[in-house]
Amino acid sequence: MTSTVFAHLLQVVDGAAPEDGGSSFWMPPQVSTVAHSVDWLFNLILAISVVFFLLIVVLMVVFVLRYRHREGQSAKASPSHNTALEITWTGIPVVLVIVIFVFGFKGFLDMSTPPANAYEILVEGQKWNWSFTYPNGYVDPNLHVPVDRPVRLVMSSQDVIHSLYVPAFRIKMDVVPGRYSKAWFEATEPGEYDLFCAEYCGTGHSNMIAHVVVHPVGEFETWLEKASNFLDTMTPVEAGQKLFQVRGCQQCHSVDGSGKTGPSLLGVYGHNQILSDGTSVVADENYIRESILEPQARVVAGFDPVMPTYQGRLSDDEIVAIIAYLKSLDGTSGGE
């Protein structure tokens, strides 16, 4: 019994890096080049903390037991001041915090200085999903990267402040509207890892999760090639559905009739839309296209004019695919 308790306690203290790269008591797996030094510093601070904590608590308990009030006795006279002692117990912590600070700063400098040949991926955060734009212009909801290659993220937000956080890589950086922020990492182990939003952003904050897929050597390029050509490899309806899901449409438009920020698109094609100014229009290809590129032009009655424009963000081919997908939502074949 005591040995298992002791083993558990030791686990609390012993944050040492596991050999196989799996999680330890305190930390997730170390999958980036900086994770090791971050964990090392964490363990250093942990060790110092445990030592001081035990010192304080043990002394406290010992004093309570040894100097417990006994009837009729009062405290023996002892000095209320001791310069040498006070200087010592001030000086030692000063030295220790300087050490911690220096390692913290050095580690941080490494984490904020990307190597020159980093592979650059653009990141957009919005309520409540991420989109990652690869150098060839392809946009994906997840972050795919090659292993053993530095990757640089250039990030901005469409609306409020978000924060990109990958615990396994030990990186985090706020994603702010109106400016670009940057982060970099080099993944060391293929696999799939969580990417969280770490700055509260409203209703869907805890669902704003993406995946980081680290591809083994040689496989990343293959994946990118295949994924980028989705317009060629998929049918227009499939491609349109992918775009609909990935490019943020489904945040505001349902495809099952339920109301959201924007009108449901179930059966939209060919439907006679009543507009906010009282006129009406048949939702044909032209209207749908206009709604994507100039969403404020003709707004459906009963909805706020809050849709952002996709001018410059969707190519003509992509719009065609989306229109094809929307046409398929005719209510007879159950659209997802």
Give the footprint of other proteins on residues 16-55 (CB under 8 A). Answer: 23, 25-28, 34, 37-38, 41-42, 45-46, 48-49, 52-53
Name the residue nearer to other proteins (CB basis): 17 or 227: 17
> Residue 286 CB, nearest distance to other proteins (Å)?
20
DSSP 26-54: S-----BTTHHHHHHHHHHHHHHHHHHHH
Name the residue nearer to other proteins (CB basis): 86 or 284: 86
Q: If 0-12 CB within 10 Å is exposed, 13-18 middle and 19+ buried, where does residue 130 land?
A: buried
Residues 118-157 that bind other proteins (CB under 8 A): 156
Q: Could you give the C-alpha distances from 112 to 104, 121, 181, 215, 251, in angstroms and in order?
A: 12, 16, 11, 23, 33
Number of residues that bind other proteins (CB under 8 A): 93
> Residue 159 CB, nearest distance to other proteins (Å)?
5
Which residue do the tokens 């952002």 mark? Answer: 308
- Give the interface segment with other proteins, choosing from 176-184, 228-236, 263-271, 274-282 (CB under 8 A): 176-184
Q: Is residue 173 within 8 Å of 181, Cβ to Cβ?
A: yes
- Give the interface segment with other proteins, choosing from 91-99, 226-234, 278-286, 321-329 (CB under 8 A): 91-99
Q: What is the bridge-based pairing of β-strands 162-166 and 171-175?
A: antiparallel
Q: Is 104 in the site for other proteins (CB under 8 A)?
A: yes
- Give the interface segment with other proteins, choosing from 103-111, 267-275, 278-286, 317-325 (CB under 8 A): 103-111
Residues 190-249 that bind other proteins (CB under 8 A): 194, 196-207
For the record, the structure tokens of 255 come out as 């495809």
Residues 312-331 that bind other proteins (CB under 8 A): 312-313
Q: Is 282 in the site for other proteins (CB under 8 A)?
A: no
Q: Is 170 in the site for other proteins (CB under 8 A)?
A: yes
Q: What does residue 28 show for φ and ψ, rounded to 5 degrees?
A: -75, 175
Q: Is residue 202 within 8 Å of 133, Cβ to Cβ?
A: no
- Give the interface segment with other proteins, choosing from 93-101, 139-147, 184-192, 212-220 (CB under 8 A): 93-101
Q: Distance between CA 186 and CA 113 in Å, rounded? A: 12
Binds other proteins by CB under 8 A, chosen from 17, 160, 281, 320: 160
For the record, the structure tokens of 231 come out as 């317009």
